Amino acid sequence: MIGPSGTTRLAGVIGDPVRHSLSPALHNAAFAHLGLDWTYLAFEVPAGGGADAVAAMRALGIEGLSVTMPHKAEVAEACDELSPAAAMLGAVNCVRRSGDRLIGENTDGVGFVNSLRSQAGIEFAGMHAVVLGAGGAARAVVVALVSEGASVTIVNRSVERAMQAAELGKQAASAAGLGSSMSVMVGAPGAVREADLVVNATPLGMHGTDPMPAPPELLGRGQIVVDLVYMPAQTPILEAADEAGAQILNGTGMLLFQAAEQFKMWTGRAAPIRAMGAAVGLDIAG
């Protein structure tokens, strides 16, 4: 394909900051691999501009939008309809078209689960996870883990937000028919010692001066430690977990698999996961 033409279909990501985003590389690799006449751009949209961006999607016939910080909640308000996951989380990370209607979706949870399955062969049922953080990403991960049959302890700086995340987890358990048999609770950092799976869903580790999101001396062999941060590729907590003999994964896999779900929704085609992974330095069988 030579380049965009009058028939090229457009998708993109809105966020601020967004210039560092790997999403254009992921989606454009997928379009190129399948020979689709589509292109994907990054749009720097300042806080408060999410609803305008959705209106622009409608006006310009943009086929799909990925949504990142700080717009996920605002875009949820601006869509015509929300998927069950987006409605439960009150956050949209993907907008797709259905005829004239714009549907808000949230693919973070399924992206997290699929990445761990694909990259580490994890089965979640019966597993005990500790999720560090209670923001948008943490809530998506908590809901996804509980829906897969894992029990979850949430550890967060603000206990009130941790309790809100736990409440969402309980709703997810009930929606999945797991009812009160499922354990979703708020805990202290010491809970990390007993976890099978530890997920850092805070931004701590992005900057060299950040404190550790959990006590690294509690990590060890037999655990899987996942950091949703992917820049840098190896955060201090992942380094400590690796040294302690735990299995480690950074956030690139979640990014890839949540993008793959978006790609499927927009194009109706299976995502070429291997080509997308290669575009962000991941060797994924598929």
Least separation in angstroms between residue 35's CB and ligand NAP is: 27
121 burial (CB, 10 Å; 0-12 / 13-18 / 19+) is exposed
Q: For residue 24, state whether it binds ligand NAP (rule: CB under 6 A).
A: no
Contacts of 280 (CB under 8 A, 6+ apart): 22, 25, 26, 252, 255, 256
Least separation in angstroms between residue 41's CB and ligand NAP is: 19
Contacts of 241 (CB under 8 A, 6+ apart): 198, 216, 219, 223, 225, 248
Contacting ligand NAP (CB under 6 A), which of 204, 225, 249, 265? 204
Here the tokens at position 189 are 């950092």
Residue, CB closest to ligand NAP: 135
Query: What is the distance between the alpha carbons of residues 58 and 238, in angstroms, rounded to a whole number?
Result: 42
Q: For residue 148, state whether it binds ligand NAP (rule: CB under 6 A).
A: no
Contacting ligand NAP (CB under 6 A), which of 147, 151, 258, 262? 258
Q: For residue 155, state whether it binds ligand NAP (rule: CB under 6 A).
A: no
Q: For residue 108, state whether it binds ligand NAP (rule: CB under 6 A).
A: yes
Least separation in angstroms between residue 126's CB and ligand NAP is: 25
Q: For residue 85, state whether it binds ligand NAP (rule: CB under 6 A).
A: no
Helix (H) or strand (E) holding 104: strand 101-105
Which among 76-84, 94-102, 157-165, 273-281 is the span making contact with ligand NAP, rule CB under 6 A? 157-165
Query: What is the distance between the alpha carbons of residues 3 and 171, in angstroms, rounded to a whole number?
Result: 47
Helix (H) or strand (E) holding 149: none
Contacting ligand NAP (CB under 6 A), which of 137, 154, 241, 246? 137
Active site (annotated) includes residue 170 = no
Q: For residue 215, state whether it binds ligand NAP (rule: CB under 6 A).
A: no
Q: For residue 69, state whether it binds ligand NAP (rule: CB under 6 A).
A: yes
Q: For residue 282, state whether it binds ligand NAP (rule: CB under 6 A).
A: no
Question: Whats the size of the chain, residue-wise?
Answer: 286
Number of residues that bind ligand NAP (CB under 6 A): 24
Q: For residue 65, state whether it binds ligand NAP (rule: CB under 6 A).
A: no
Contacting ligand NAP (CB under 6 A), which of 15, 216, 251, 272? 251
Query: What is the distance between the alpha carbons of residues 3 and 205, in angstroms, rounded to a whole number?
Result: 38
Q: Which is nearer to ligand NAP, 168 or 178 (CB)?
A: 168
Query: What is the distance between the alpha carbons of residues 42 and 191, in angstroms, rounded to a whole number?
Result: 39
Task: For the chain, report the end-to-end CA distance as a whole number of angstroms.
Answer: 24
Cβ neighbours, 10 Å, residue 260: 27
**Residue carrying structure tokens 């949870």:** 109
From 72, 96, 139, 170, active-site residue: 72
So which residues are the catalytic ones? 72
Task: Give the interface with ligand NAP as residue ranges (CB under 6 A).
Answer: 69, 108, 133-138, 156-158, 161, 201-204, 206, 228-230, 251, 254-255, 258
